[in-house]
Amino acid sequence: MQIEIIISGFGGQGALFAGQILAYAAMDSGRHVTWIPSYGPEMRGGTAHCTVVIADDEIGSPLVRYPAAVIAMNQPSLDKYEPLVASGGVLVVNASLTTRRPERSDLRRVAIPANAVAEELGNVRLANIVLTGALLAATGALPVEAVEQALAAHLPERHRHLLGANSQALRRGAALAAAVTA
């Protein structure tokens, strides 16, 4: 089993961090994993994405053209990646920052107002974790508990007070994905 995930958004939205948390969770679950960021002369507000490959066997390419799953955290990401998701794959969209619904009918489409949900939870910066929870529920890539444990094990000391909020955000995202199909 192998799944390729691209997480894309504005710089500062936490796309790279969300991918790293998946990578830690995959490693701690004994899976093979690669995490590769877009990098360049970029700044806050520019675009940022990462590719995470999780597999049971040795991983060849850490990059793919047609990922099995995408989290599009904003409108440019939706426009860029909707055409590229592999047929039958998963497209998770941040409805708070997109002006249209995903169109492809051959995908499992999950649109969640992640910014609004994160604000309800008390911190808009949890939007990336809400979307990650939705991705986990829609793909089954990893159990939500594995990601919770990875957060507990690898979150830097200065952010540990946010562990509870992160868990809530993950579970809220997963619950919404289970209920919502765009």
- Residue of 1, 43, 44, 65 that binds another protein (CB under 8 A): 65
In the bound state with another protein, the residue whose beta carbon lies nearer, of 36 and 162, is 36
User: Which residues, other chains included, contact 93 with Cβ-Cβ below 8 Å and sequence gap of 6+?
Assistant: 71, 72, 78, 101, 102, 109, 110, 111, 112, 182
The count of other CB atoms within 10 Å of the CB of residue 58 is 6
Convert residues 69-88 into a mask of x (bound to another protein by CB under 8 A) and - (unbound).
--------------------
Q: Which of 1, 40, 157, 164 binds another protein (CB under 8 A)?
A: 40
* Number of residues this chain uses to bind another protein (CB under 8 A): 21
Where are the alpha helices (H) located in the chain, listed in sequence order? Answer: 15-28, 75-81, 114-120, 127-139, 144-154, 163-179
Determine which residue in the list 41, 83, 88, 156 makes contact with another protein, applying CB under 8 A: 41
Could you say whether residue 151 binds another protein (CB under 8 A)? no
d(CA 122, CA 39): 30
**Residue whose structure tokens are 């497209």:** 91
Decide if residue 156 touches another protein (CB under 8 A). Answer: no
Q: Write out the residues near another protein by the rule CB under 8 A.
A: 20, 23-24, 27, 32-37, 39-41, 60-66, 154
